[in-house]
Structure 1
Amino acid sequence: MIIVTGATGQLGRDIVERLLSYVPAERIGASVRDPGKARDLLDRGVRVRQGDFADPAGLAHAFEGASQVLVVSAGTTGEAALALHRAAIDAAVEAGARRVLYTSHMGASPTSLFAPMPDHAATETMLRECGTDWTSLRNGYYASSAIMLLGDAVRTGVLAAPEDGPISWTAHADLAEAAARVLAADGGPVGPTAPLTGGEALDLAAIAELASELSGRKVERVVVTDEEYRANLLGHGGSAWLADLLLGMFAASRQGEFAHVDPALGELIGRPPTPFEDVLRAAVTAAR
Protein backbone atom coordinates (compact mmCIF):
# COMPACT_ATOMS: atom_id res chain seq x y z
CA MET A 1 0.00 0.00 0.00
CA ILE A 2 1.15 3.53 -0.83
CA ILE A 3 0.74 5.86 2.14
CA VAL A 4 0.58 9.62 1.58
CA THR A 5 0.89 11.77 4.69
CA GLY A 6 -0.65 15.20 4.97
CA ALA A 7 -3.30 14.09 2.49
CA THR A 8 -5.64 16.98 3.32
CA GLY A 9 -2.98 19.63 2.71
CA GLN A 10 -2.56 21.34 -0.64
CA LEU A 11 0.31 19.20 -1.91
CA GLY A 12 -0.67 15.92 -0.24
CA ARG A 13 -4.25 16.17 -1.47
CA ASP A 14 -3.10 16.89 -5.03
CA ILE A 15 -0.77 13.89 -4.90
CA VAL A 16 -3.57 11.53 -3.83
CA GLU A 17 -5.87 12.87 -6.55
CA ARG A 18 -3.27 12.22 -9.24
CA LEU A 19 -2.26 8.89 -7.76
CA LEU A 20 -5.85 7.73 -8.19
CA SER A 21 -5.28 8.01 -11.94
CA TYR A 22 -2.44 5.49 -11.79
CA VAL A 23 -3.27 2.89 -9.15
CA PRO A 24 -6.48 1.42 -7.69
CA ALA A 25 -7.91 3.33 -4.75
CA GLU A 26 -7.57 0.31 -2.46
CA ARG A 27 -3.79 0.53 -2.85
CA ILE A 28 -3.69 4.08 -1.49
CA GLY A 29 -3.66 5.07 2.16
CA ALA A 30 -4.19 8.64 3.36
CA SER A 31 -2.60 9.56 6.69
CA VAL A 32 -4.32 12.68 8.01
CA ARG A 33 -4.65 14.48 11.32
CA ASP A 34 -8.40 14.91 10.85
CA PRO A 35 -10.06 12.00 8.98
CA GLY A 36 -13.28 13.99 8.74
CA LYS A 37 -11.61 16.28 6.20
CA ALA A 38 -10.86 13.27 3.96
CA ARG A 39 -14.32 11.71 3.97
CA ASP A 40 -14.64 12.08 0.20
CA LEU A 41 -11.42 10.10 -0.29
CA LEU A 42 -12.80 7.37 1.94
CA ASP A 43 -15.97 7.30 -0.15
CA ARG A 44 -13.83 6.78 -3.25
CA GLY A 45 -12.11 3.72 -1.77
CA VAL A 46 -8.94 5.28 -0.32
CA ARG A 47 -7.99 3.97 3.12
CA VAL A 48 -8.13 6.95 5.48
CA ARG A 49 -6.55 6.76 8.93
CA GLN A 50 -5.66 9.30 11.56
CA GLY A 51 -1.95 9.97 11.60
CA ASP A 52 0.04 12.71 13.28
CA PHE A 53 3.84 12.91 13.23
CA ALA A 54 3.62 14.01 16.88
CA ASP A 55 1.92 10.69 17.80
CA PRO A 56 4.19 7.76 16.85
CA ALA A 57 1.72 5.20 18.18
CA GLY A 58 -0.96 6.56 15.87
CA LEU A 59 1.44 6.49 12.94
CA ALA A 60 1.91 2.75 13.38
CA HIS A 61 -1.80 2.31 12.64
CA ALA A 62 -1.82 4.86 9.80
CA PHE A 63 1.18 3.22 8.11
CA GLU A 64 0.09 -0.40 8.59
CA GLY A 65 0.79 -2.52 5.52
CA ALA A 66 2.83 0.19 3.80
CA SER A 67 5.02 -0.66 0.83
CA GLN A 68 5.90 3.03 0.32
CA VAL A 69 5.39 6.05 2.56
CA LEU A 70 5.53 9.60 1.30
CA VAL A 71 6.47 11.93 4.15
CA VAL A 72 5.24 15.44 3.35
CA SER A 73 7.49 17.88 5.21
CA ALA A 74 6.17 19.49 8.39
CA GLY A 75 4.98 23.08 8.37
CA THR A 76 7.50 24.24 10.95
CA THR A 77 11.27 24.62 11.23
CA GLY A 78 14.21 23.73 13.43
CA GLU A 79 14.32 20.97 16.00
CA ALA A 80 10.53 20.71 16.05
CA ALA A 81 10.46 19.88 12.34
CA LEU A 82 13.31 17.40 12.62
CA ALA A 83 11.64 15.56 15.50
CA LEU A 84 8.44 15.21 13.47
CA HIS A 85 10.33 14.01 10.39
CA ARG A 86 12.30 11.51 12.47
CA ALA A 87 9.09 10.09 13.95
CA ALA A 88 7.52 9.68 10.50
CA ILE A 89 10.60 8.05 8.97
CA ASP A 90 11.00 5.65 11.90
CA ALA A 91 7.31 4.71 11.75
CA ALA A 92 7.56 4.04 8.02
CA VAL A 93 10.55 1.76 8.47
CA GLU A 94 8.91 -0.05 11.40
CA ALA A 95 5.79 -0.58 9.28
CA GLY A 96 7.93 -2.47 6.76
CA ALA A 97 7.90 0.09 3.95
CA ARG A 98 10.32 -0.84 1.18
CA ARG A 99 10.85 2.82 0.36
CA VAL A 100 10.42 6.13 2.19
CA LEU A 101 9.93 9.26 0.14
CA TYR A 102 10.16 12.84 1.36
CA THR A 103 9.13 16.23 -0.06
CA SER A 104 12.42 18.08 0.15
CA HIS A 105 13.47 21.25 -1.67
CA MET A 106 15.78 22.25 -4.48
CA GLY A 107 17.68 24.45 -2.02
CA ALA A 108 18.28 21.81 0.63
CA SER A 109 21.61 22.67 2.25
CA PRO A 110 23.04 22.81 5.77
CA THR A 111 24.48 26.26 5.01
CA SER A 112 21.40 27.91 3.51
CA LEU A 113 20.22 31.25 4.89
CA PHE A 114 16.58 30.12 4.57
CA ALA A 115 15.57 28.21 7.72
CA PRO A 116 13.74 25.26 6.11
CA MET A 117 16.69 24.36 3.90
CA PRO A 118 19.04 23.06 6.65
CA ASP A 119 16.05 21.09 7.96
CA HIS A 120 15.58 19.46 4.57
CA ALA A 121 19.28 18.63 4.41
CA ALA A 122 19.20 17.12 7.91
CA THR A 123 16.11 15.07 7.03
CA GLU A 124 17.87 13.72 3.96
CA THR A 125 20.66 12.56 6.27
CA MET A 126 18.06 10.74 8.38
CA LEU A 127 16.76 9.06 5.24
CA ARG A 128 20.25 8.11 4.16
CA GLU A 129 20.70 6.34 7.49
CA CYS A 130 17.21 4.81 7.82
CA GLY A 131 18.14 1.38 6.46
CA THR A 132 15.71 1.20 3.53
CA ASP A 133 15.45 2.65 0.04
CA TRP A 134 14.59 6.32 0.01
CA THR A 135 13.81 9.10 -2.39
CA SER A 136 14.05 12.79 -1.66
CA LEU A 137 11.89 14.81 -4.06
CA ARG A 138 13.80 18.07 -4.36
CA ASN A 139 10.85 20.24 -5.23
CA GLY A 140 11.18 23.65 -6.79
CA TYR A 141 10.04 26.70 -4.86
CA TYR A 142 6.23 26.71 -4.72
CA ALA A 143 4.73 29.24 -7.11
CA SER A 144 1.99 29.88 -4.55
CA SER A 145 4.63 31.56 -2.38
CA ALA A 146 5.18 34.15 -5.09
CA ILE A 147 1.44 34.85 -5.13
CA MET A 148 1.62 35.31 -1.35
CA LEU A 149 4.52 37.75 -1.70
CA LEU A 150 2.60 39.67 -4.35
CA GLY A 151 -0.24 40.08 -1.87
CA ASP A 152 -2.51 43.01 -2.72
CA ALA A 153 0.05 44.73 -4.93
CA VAL A 154 -2.31 44.68 -7.91
CA ARG A 155 -4.76 46.74 -5.88
CA THR A 156 -2.23 49.08 -4.26
CA GLY A 157 0.09 49.36 -7.26
CA VAL A 158 3.17 48.69 -5.12
CA LEU A 159 5.13 45.47 -4.51
CA ALA A 160 7.40 46.43 -1.62
CA ALA A 161 9.95 43.86 -0.45
CA PRO A 162 13.67 43.56 0.29
CA GLU A 163 16.18 43.03 -2.48
CA ASP A 164 15.70 39.55 -3.91
CA GLY A 165 17.04 37.20 -6.55
CA PRO A 166 15.51 35.02 -9.27
CA ILE A 167 13.57 31.93 -8.18
CA SER A 168 12.39 29.05 -10.37
CA TRP A 169 8.78 29.17 -9.18
CA THR A 170 7.09 25.78 -9.60
CA ALA A 171 3.40 24.89 -9.70
CA HIS A 172 2.00 22.63 -6.95
CA ALA A 173 0.09 20.67 -9.59
CA ASP A 174 3.27 19.78 -11.46
CA LEU A 175 5.04 18.65 -8.30
CA ALA A 176 2.03 16.58 -7.27
CA GLU A 177 2.01 14.91 -10.68
CA ALA A 178 5.72 14.15 -10.36
CA ALA A 179 5.30 12.61 -6.92
CA ALA A 180 2.35 10.51 -8.07
CA ARG A 181 4.31 9.15 -11.01
CA VAL A 182 7.28 8.25 -8.84
CA LEU A 183 5.01 6.50 -6.32
CA ALA A 184 3.09 4.64 -9.02
CA ALA A 185 6.31 3.44 -10.63
CA ASP A 186 7.25 1.76 -7.32
CA GLY A 187 10.90 2.14 -8.18
CA GLY A 188 12.28 5.57 -8.72
CA PRO A 189 15.65 7.01 -7.83
CA VAL A 190 17.39 6.19 -4.58
CA GLY A 191 18.55 9.39 -2.98
CA PRO A 192 17.75 12.96 -3.92
CA THR A 193 16.25 13.73 -7.30
CA ALA A 194 17.53 16.46 -9.56
CA PRO A 195 15.87 19.80 -8.79
CA LEU A 196 12.21 19.58 -9.87
CA THR A 197 11.79 23.15 -11.04
CA GLY A 198 9.70 25.33 -13.28
CA GLY A 199 11.03 26.37 -16.65
CA GLU A 200 12.29 29.86 -15.77
CA ALA A 201 13.58 31.85 -12.82
CA LEU A 202 11.94 35.20 -12.06
CA ASP A 203 12.62 37.88 -9.48
CA LEU A 204 9.98 40.16 -7.98
CA ALA A 205 10.64 42.88 -10.54
CA ALA A 206 9.70 40.43 -13.30
CA ILE A 207 6.66 39.30 -11.32
CA ALA A 208 5.53 42.93 -10.88
CA GLU A 209 5.87 43.45 -14.62
CA LEU A 210 3.84 40.30 -15.34
CA ALA A 211 1.19 41.34 -12.83
CA SER A 212 0.94 44.71 -14.55
CA GLU A 213 0.43 43.08 -17.94
CA LEU A 214 -2.12 40.55 -16.74
CA SER A 215 -4.17 42.93 -14.60
CA GLY A 216 -3.95 46.03 -16.74
CA ARG A 217 -2.83 47.95 -13.66
CA LYS A 218 0.67 49.25 -13.07
CA VAL A 219 2.49 47.40 -10.28
CA GLU A 220 5.73 49.07 -9.19
CA ARG A 221 8.50 47.00 -7.61
CA VAL A 222 9.86 48.95 -4.63
CA VAL A 223 12.94 47.74 -2.72
CA VAL A 224 12.78 48.29 1.04
CA THR A 225 15.27 47.42 3.77
CA ASP A 226 14.96 44.23 5.75
CA GLU A 227 14.13 46.32 8.82
CA GLU A 228 11.32 48.17 7.05
CA TYR A 229 9.86 44.94 5.71
CA ARG A 230 9.95 43.29 9.11
CA ALA A 231 8.34 46.28 10.82
CA ASN A 232 5.58 46.37 8.21
CA LEU A 233 4.82 42.66 8.64
CA LEU A 234 4.68 42.96 12.42
CA GLY A 235 2.54 46.05 12.12
CA HIS A 236 -0.01 44.14 10.08
CA GLY A 237 -0.27 41.26 12.55
CA GLY A 238 2.45 38.99 11.20
CA SER A 239 4.53 36.97 13.64
CA ALA A 240 8.22 37.48 14.31
CA TRP A 241 8.77 33.87 13.20
CA LEU A 242 7.19 34.56 9.80
CA ALA A 243 9.11 37.81 9.39
CA ASP A 244 12.43 36.14 10.09
CA LEU A 245 11.52 33.23 7.80
CA LEU A 246 10.76 35.53 4.87
CA LEU A 247 13.84 37.65 5.42
CA GLY A 248 15.90 34.46 5.29
CA MET A 249 14.23 33.58 2.00
CA PHE A 250 15.11 36.97 0.50
CA ALA A 251 18.71 36.64 1.70
CA ALA A 252 19.00 33.14 0.23
CA SER A 253 17.48 34.22 -3.08
CA ARG A 254 19.98 37.08 -3.30
CA GLN A 255 22.70 34.43 -3.19
CA GLY A 256 21.08 32.52 -6.03
CA GLU A 257 20.03 29.51 -3.95
CA PHE A 258 16.76 29.06 -5.86
CA ALA A 259 17.72 30.31 -9.31
CA HIS A 260 18.60 26.96 -10.89
CA VAL A 261 16.34 25.71 -13.70
CA ASP A 262 16.45 21.99 -14.45
CA PRO A 263 14.72 19.83 -17.11
CA ALA A 264 14.05 16.97 -14.66
CA LEU A 265 10.48 17.94 -13.78
CA GLY A 266 9.36 18.23 -17.39
CA GLU A 267 10.97 14.90 -18.21
CA LEU A 268 9.22 13.24 -15.27
CA ILE A 269 5.72 14.54 -16.01
CA GLY A 270 6.05 14.25 -19.78
CA ARG A 271 5.35 17.88 -20.64
CA PRO A 272 6.83 21.34 -20.03
CA PRO A 273 6.26 22.63 -16.50
CA THR A 274 3.41 25.08 -16.03
CA PRO A 275 4.68 28.61 -16.81
CA PHE A 276 4.56 30.94 -13.82
CA GLU A 277 2.58 33.35 -15.96
CA ASP A 278 -0.28 30.82 -16.04
CA VAL A 279 -0.23 30.50 -12.24
CA LEU A 280 -0.23 34.28 -11.87
CA ARG A 281 -2.99 34.72 -14.43
CA ALA A 282 -5.23 32.36 -12.49
CA ALA A 283 -4.53 34.27 -9.26
CA VAL A 284 -5.19 37.67 -10.85
CA THR A 285 -8.42 36.39 -12.40
CA ALA A 286 -9.60 34.91 -9.11
CA ALA A 287 -8.93 38.22 -7.30
CA ARG A 288 -11.15 40.23 -9.65
Structure 2
Amino acid sequence: MIVVTGATGGLGGATVEHLLKRVPADQIGVSVRDAAKAQHLADRGVRVRQGSYEDPATLRDSFTGADQVLLVSGNDPAADMVGLHRNAVEAAVAAGTRRILYTSQQSAVPDNPYRPSDIHTATEAILGASGVAWTALRNGAYGPLDQLLGPWQRTGVIAQPQDGPVPYTDRADVAEATAVVLAGDRSFDGPVTFTAPTAVTFDDFAKIASELTGSTVERIVLDDEQWVADQLAIGVPEQAARLMLSWYQAARAGYFAEADPVLAELLGREPRTAADRLAAHVDG
Protein backbone atom coordinates (compact mmCIF):
# COMPACT_ATOMS: atom_id res chain seq x y z
CA MET A 1 0.00 0.00 0.00
CA ILE A 2 1.01 3.60 -0.69
CA VAL A 3 0.02 6.13 1.99
CA VAL A 4 0.04 9.86 1.25
CA THR A 5 -0.09 12.53 3.96
CA GLY A 6 -1.58 15.95 3.37
CA ALA A 7 -3.96 14.48 0.81
CA THR A 8 -6.49 17.28 1.21
CA GLY A 9 -3.84 19.87 0.35
CA GLY A 10 -2.72 21.04 -3.07
CA LEU A 11 0.32 18.86 -3.72
CA GLY A 12 -0.82 15.81 -1.76
CA GLY A 13 -4.29 15.87 -3.29
CA ALA A 14 -2.98 16.18 -6.83
CA THR A 15 -0.54 13.34 -6.22
CA VAL A 16 -3.36 11.06 -5.08
CA GLU A 17 -5.38 11.92 -8.19
CA HIS A 18 -2.46 10.88 -10.39
CA LEU A 19 -1.91 7.73 -8.33
CA LEU A 20 -5.52 6.72 -8.93
CA LYS A 21 -4.72 6.62 -12.65
CA ARG A 22 -1.83 4.23 -12.06
CA VAL A 23 -2.69 1.84 -9.22
CA PRO A 24 -5.95 0.37 -7.85
CA ALA A 25 -7.68 2.55 -5.27
CA ASP A 26 -7.52 -0.18 -2.63
CA GLN A 27 -3.72 0.06 -2.77
CA ILE A 28 -3.80 3.75 -1.82
CA GLY A 29 -4.25 5.19 1.66
CA VAL A 30 -4.27 8.76 2.90
CA SER A 31 -3.43 10.22 6.28
CA VAL A 32 -5.29 13.48 6.85
CA ARG A 33 -6.11 15.78 9.75
CA ASP A 34 -9.82 15.77 8.97
CA ALA A 35 -11.13 12.54 7.49
CA ALA A 36 -14.40 14.21 6.49
CA LYS A 37 -12.50 16.38 4.01
CA ALA A 38 -11.25 13.23 2.28
CA GLN A 39 -14.67 11.64 1.86
CA HIS A 40 -14.42 12.11 -1.89
CA LEU A 41 -11.42 9.78 -1.83
CA ALA A 42 -13.09 7.23 0.45
CA ASP A 43 -16.03 7.14 -1.97
CA ARG A 44 -13.59 6.03 -4.68
CA GLY A 45 -12.12 3.21 -2.60
CA VAL A 46 -9.11 4.94 -1.04
CA ARG A 47 -8.38 4.04 2.59
CA VAL A 48 -8.84 7.21 4.65
CA ARG A 49 -7.48 7.48 8.19
CA GLN A 50 -7.05 10.43 10.50
CA GLY A 51 -3.45 11.30 11.24
CA SER A 52 -1.53 14.35 12.40
CA TYR A 53 2.17 15.07 12.69
CA GLU A 54 1.40 16.36 16.19
CA ASP A 55 -0.02 12.95 17.22
CA PRO A 56 2.37 10.07 16.46
CA ALA A 57 -0.15 7.44 17.61
CA THR A 58 -2.58 8.45 14.87
CA LEU A 59 0.24 8.41 12.33
CA ARG A 60 1.26 4.89 13.25
CA ASP A 61 -2.33 3.80 12.73
CA SER A 62 -2.70 5.62 9.41
CA PHE A 63 0.63 4.17 8.16
CA THR A 64 -0.23 0.57 9.07
CA GLY A 65 0.33 -1.76 6.13
CA ALA A 66 2.15 0.84 4.04
CA ASP A 67 5.03 -0.24 1.84
CA GLN A 68 5.64 3.42 0.97
CA VAL A 69 4.71 6.62 2.77
CA LEU A 70 4.83 10.06 1.19
CA LEU A 71 5.43 12.72 3.84
CA VAL A 72 4.31 16.10 2.54
CA SER A 73 6.41 18.66 4.39
CA GLY A 74 4.74 21.15 6.69
CA ASN A 75 5.27 24.90 6.38
CA ASP A 76 3.99 26.47 9.61
CA PRO A 77 6.65 29.04 10.56
CA ALA A 78 5.45 29.03 14.16
CA ALA A 79 5.78 25.27 14.61
CA ASP A 80 8.76 23.01 15.28
CA MET A 81 8.60 21.50 11.82
CA VAL A 82 11.75 19.43 12.24
CA GLY A 83 10.28 17.85 15.36
CA LEU A 84 6.98 17.22 13.62
CA HIS A 85 8.72 15.67 10.62
CA ARG A 86 10.70 13.49 13.04
CA ASN A 87 7.39 12.28 14.49
CA ALA A 88 6.24 11.30 11.03
CA VAL A 89 9.46 9.51 10.11
CA GLU A 90 9.51 7.58 13.37
CA ALA A 91 5.85 6.62 12.95
CA ALA A 92 6.52 5.32 9.45
CA VAL A 93 9.48 3.28 10.69
CA ALA A 94 7.41 1.89 13.57
CA ALA A 95 4.66 0.92 11.11
CA GLY A 96 7.14 -1.15 9.09
CA THR A 97 7.22 1.10 6.04
CA ARG A 98 9.68 -0.07 3.39
CA ARG A 99 10.40 3.38 1.90
CA ILE A 100 9.71 6.93 3.05
CA LEU A 101 9.43 9.72 0.50
CA TYR A 102 9.56 13.34 1.62
CA THR A 103 8.72 16.55 -0.23
CA SER A 104 11.86 18.61 0.14
CA GLN A 105 13.14 21.68 -1.70
CA GLN A 106 15.56 22.32 -4.53
CA SER A 107 19.06 23.01 -3.21
CA ALA A 108 18.27 21.90 0.34
CA VAL A 109 21.84 22.37 1.55
CA PRO A 110 23.12 23.72 4.89
CA ASP A 111 24.45 27.06 3.60
CA ASN A 112 21.35 28.04 1.60
CA PRO A 113 20.18 31.47 2.84
CA TYR A 114 16.52 30.55 2.31
CA ARG A 115 15.47 29.66 5.83
CA PRO A 116 13.16 26.69 5.14
CA SER A 117 16.23 24.93 3.75
CA ASP A 118 17.28 24.36 7.36
CA ILE A 119 14.09 22.37 7.96
CA HIS A 120 14.57 20.28 4.85
CA THR A 121 18.25 19.53 5.46
CA ALA A 122 17.50 18.52 9.05
CA THR A 123 14.62 16.30 7.95
CA GLU A 124 16.73 14.67 5.26
CA ALA A 125 19.32 13.91 7.96
CA ILE A 126 16.60 12.28 10.05
CA LEU A 127 15.59 10.18 7.06
CA GLY A 128 19.20 9.19 6.46
CA ALA A 129 19.51 7.95 10.03
CA SER A 130 16.16 6.16 10.04
CA GLY A 131 17.42 2.81 8.81
CA VAL A 132 14.71 2.77 6.13
CA ALA A 133 15.10 3.42 2.40
CA TRP A 134 14.22 7.02 1.66
CA THR A 135 13.80 9.52 -1.14
CA ALA A 136 13.85 13.30 -0.81
CA LEU A 137 11.90 14.93 -3.63
CA ARG A 138 13.67 18.27 -3.93
CA ASN A 139 11.00 20.25 -5.73
CA GLY A 140 11.62 23.44 -7.64
CA ALA A 141 9.67 26.55 -6.65
CA TYR A 142 6.05 26.03 -7.67
CA GLY A 143 4.18 28.87 -5.97
CA PRO A 144 1.60 30.97 -7.86
CA LEU A 145 3.17 33.41 -10.28
CA ASP A 146 0.83 36.23 -9.29
CA GLN A 147 2.24 36.09 -5.77
CA LEU A 148 5.77 35.95 -7.10
CA LEU A 149 5.56 38.78 -9.61
CA GLY A 150 3.18 41.13 -7.86
CA PRO A 151 0.48 43.24 -9.58
CA TRP A 152 2.42 43.69 -12.82
CA GLN A 153 -0.71 43.49 -15.00
CA ARG A 154 -2.08 46.56 -13.24
CA THR A 155 1.17 48.50 -12.77
CA GLY A 156 3.18 47.46 -15.83
CA VAL A 157 6.22 46.76 -13.67
CA ILE A 158 7.76 43.80 -11.87
CA ALA A 159 9.15 45.54 -8.81
CA GLN A 160 10.99 43.10 -6.57
CA PRO A 161 14.46 42.77 -5.01
CA GLN A 162 17.40 41.53 -7.04
CA ASP A 163 16.87 37.89 -7.94
CA GLY A 164 18.67 35.16 -9.85
CA PRO A 165 17.78 32.33 -12.24
CA VAL A 166 15.17 29.88 -10.96
CA PRO A 167 13.51 26.97 -12.81
CA TYR A 168 9.98 27.84 -11.71
CA THR A 169 8.07 24.57 -11.77
CA ASP A 170 4.42 23.64 -12.22
CA ARG A 171 2.96 21.97 -9.12
CA ALA A 172 0.81 19.74 -11.33
CA ASP A 173 3.96 18.38 -13.00
CA VAL A 174 5.57 17.76 -9.60
CA ALA A 175 2.47 15.88 -8.41
CA GLU A 176 2.38 13.71 -11.52
CA ALA A 177 6.08 12.84 -11.27
CA THR A 178 5.68 12.03 -7.58
CA ALA A 179 2.89 9.61 -8.47
CA VAL A 180 5.10 8.03 -11.13
CA VAL A 181 7.79 7.38 -8.53
CA LEU A 182 5.31 6.06 -5.94
CA ALA A 183 3.75 3.76 -8.52
CA GLY A 184 7.13 2.10 -8.95
CA ASP A 185 7.99 3.14 -12.49
CA ARG A 186 11.32 4.44 -11.22
CA SER A 187 12.87 4.69 -7.77
CA PHE A 188 15.53 6.93 -6.27
CA ASP A 189 17.66 6.58 -3.16
CA GLY A 190 18.33 9.85 -1.35
CA PRO A 191 17.71 13.25 -2.96
CA VAL A 192 16.32 13.79 -6.45
CA THR A 193 15.48 17.20 -7.91
CA PHE A 194 12.29 18.00 -9.83
CA THR A 195 12.41 21.26 -11.81
CA ALA A 196 11.16 22.85 -15.00
CA PRO A 197 13.63 22.65 -17.90
CA THR A 198 14.75 26.28 -17.87
CA ALA A 199 15.79 28.73 -15.16
CA VAL A 200 14.58 32.31 -15.61
CA THR A 201 14.93 35.67 -13.87
CA PHE A 202 12.54 38.54 -13.32
CA ASP A 203 14.17 40.24 -16.30
CA ASP A 204 13.10 37.24 -18.36
CA PHE A 205 9.60 37.40 -16.93
CA ALA A 206 9.35 41.07 -17.91
CA LYS A 207 10.31 40.22 -21.50
CA ILE A 208 7.88 37.30 -21.63
CA ALA A 209 5.08 39.40 -20.16
CA SER A 210 5.77 42.20 -22.66
CA GLU A 211 5.51 39.75 -25.56
CA LEU A 212 2.34 38.19 -24.22
CA THR A 213 0.52 41.46 -23.63
CA GLY A 214 1.96 43.58 -26.43
CA SER A 215 2.79 46.25 -23.84
CA THR A 216 6.13 47.00 -22.23
CA VAL A 217 6.48 45.48 -18.77
CA GLU A 218 9.40 47.00 -16.89
CA ARG A 219 11.62 45.25 -14.38
CA ILE A 220 12.50 47.44 -11.39
CA VAL A 221 15.04 46.25 -8.82
CA LEU A 222 14.15 47.34 -5.31
CA ASP A 223 16.58 47.74 -2.43
CA ASP A 224 16.11 44.88 0.03
CA GLU A 225 15.19 47.04 3.01
CA GLN A 226 12.95 49.27 0.92
CA TRP A 227 11.11 46.19 -0.29
CA VAL A 228 10.67 44.96 3.28
CA ALA A 229 9.35 48.39 4.28
CA ASP A 230 6.91 48.34 1.35
CA GLN A 231 5.69 44.90 2.42
CA LEU A 232 5.13 46.06 5.98
CA ALA A 233 3.21 49.06 4.67
CA ILE A 234 0.67 46.81 2.95
CA GLY A 235 0.21 44.64 6.02
CA VAL A 236 2.64 41.77 5.48
CA PRO A 237 4.10 40.61 8.81
CA GLU A 238 7.81 41.35 9.09
CA GLN A 239 8.67 37.69 9.72
CA ALA A 240 6.96 36.70 6.47
CA ALA A 241 8.61 39.53 4.53
CA ARG A 242 12.08 38.65 5.73
CA LEU A 243 11.48 34.98 5.03
CA MET A 244 10.68 35.86 1.42
CA LEU A 245 13.68 38.18 1.28
CA SER A 246 15.91 35.25 2.21
CA TRP A 247 14.52 33.45 -0.86
CA TYR A 248 15.55 36.36 -3.12
CA GLN A 249 18.99 36.31 -1.49
CA ALA A 250 19.34 32.59 -2.18
CA ALA A 251 18.21 33.03 -5.78
CA ARG A 252 20.67 35.84 -6.48
CA ALA A 253 23.44 33.72 -4.97
CA GLY A 254 22.66 31.00 -7.52
CA TYR A 255 21.26 28.34 -5.23
CA PHE A 256 18.29 27.65 -7.52
CA ALA A 257 20.01 28.23 -10.86
CA GLU A 258 20.37 24.63 -12.02
CA ALA A 259 17.53 22.97 -13.92
CA ASP A 260 17.35 19.19 -13.73
CA PRO A 261 16.17 16.83 -16.52
CA VAL A 262 14.67 14.17 -14.22
CA LEU A 263 11.18 15.68 -14.15
CA ALA A 264 10.94 15.53 -17.94
CA GLU A 265 12.20 11.95 -17.93
CA LEU A 266 9.54 10.88 -15.44
CA LEU A 267 6.73 12.66 -17.25
CA GLY A 268 7.79 11.46 -20.68
CA ARG A 269 7.33 15.00 -21.96
CA GLU A 270 8.64 18.49 -21.36
CA PRO A 271 7.34 20.03 -18.13
CA ARG A 272 5.52 23.34 -18.33
CA THR A 273 7.90 26.27 -18.47
CA ALA A 274 7.61 29.61 -16.72
CA ALA A 275 6.53 31.10 -20.05
CA ASP A 276 3.78 28.48 -20.38
CA ARG A 277 2.52 29.24 -16.91
CA LEU A 278 2.61 33.00 -17.41
CA ALA A 279 0.73 32.67 -20.71
CA ALA A 280 -1.97 30.63 -18.97
CA HIS A 281 -2.17 33.25 -16.23
CA VAL A 282 -2.57 36.06 -18.75
CA ASP A 283 -5.20 34.13 -20.71
CA GLY A 284 -7.02 33.31 -17.51
What TM-score comes out, normalization by structure 1 length?
Answer: 0.94
- The offset of 1:207, in angstroms, is 1.0
Match of 1:43 in 2: 43
Match of 2:240 in 1: 242
**Structure 1 position 76 matched with structure 2 position 68:** no
- The offset of 1:78, in angstroms, is 8.4
User: Helix, strand or coil for the counterpart of 1:112?
Assistant: coil
Q: Distance in 2 between matches of 1:234 and 1:55?
A: 35
Give the 5 Å matches for 1:102-251: 102-142=102-142, 144-185=143-184, 188-193=187-192, 195-251=193-249
Q: Distance in 2 between matches of 1:124 and 1:36?
A: 31
Work out whether residues 78 and 115 of structure 1, in 8 Å CA contact, stay in contact via their aligned partners in 2: no
Q: Distance in 2 between matches of 1:124 and 1:19?
A: 24
Q: Distance in 1 between matches of 2:150 and 2:25?
A: 38
- The offset of 1:187, in angstroms, is 6.4
What CA deviation, in whole Å up to 9, does each residue of 1:127-154 have, x standing for no partner? 0000111111111221x34431113211
Kindly provide the amino acid, as one letter, of the partner of residue 159 in structure 2: A
Q: Distance in 2 between matches of 1:153 and 1:272?
A: 27
User: Helix, strand or coil for the counterpart of 1:185?
Assistant: coil
Kindly provide the amino acid, as one letter, of the partner of residue 190 in structure 1: D
**Structure 1 position 28 matched with structure 2 position 18:** no
User: Helix, strand or coil for the counterpart of 2:48?
Assistant: strand
Q: Distance in 1 between matches of 2:230 and 2:45?
A: 47
Unaligned runs of 5+ in 1: none
Work out whether residues 77 and 119 of structure 1, in 8 Å CA contact, stay in contact via their aligned partners in 2: no
Work out whether residues 78 and 116 of structure 1, in 8 Å CA contact, stay in contact via their aligned partners in 2: no
Q: Distance in 2 between matches of 1:187 and 1:53?
A: 28
Kindly provide the amino acid, as one letter, of the partner of residue 269 in structure 2: R
Q: Distance in 1 between matches of 2:69 and 2:86?
A: 13
RMSD: 1.6
Work out whether residues 164 and 251 of structure 1, in 8 Å CA contact, stay in contact via their aligned partners in 2: yes
Q: Distance in 1 between matches of 2:78 and 2:260?
A: 28
Work out whether residues 158 and 220 of structure 1, in 8 Å CA contact, stay in contact via their aligned partners in 2: yes
Match of 1:10 in 2: 10
What CA deviation, in whole Å up to 9, does each residue of 1:237-277 have, x standing for no partner? 11122101110000000110001012111112211111221
What CA deviation, in whole Å up to 9, does each residue of 1:222-244 have, x standing for no partner? 11111111111111111122101
Count residues with an aligned counterpart. Answer: 284
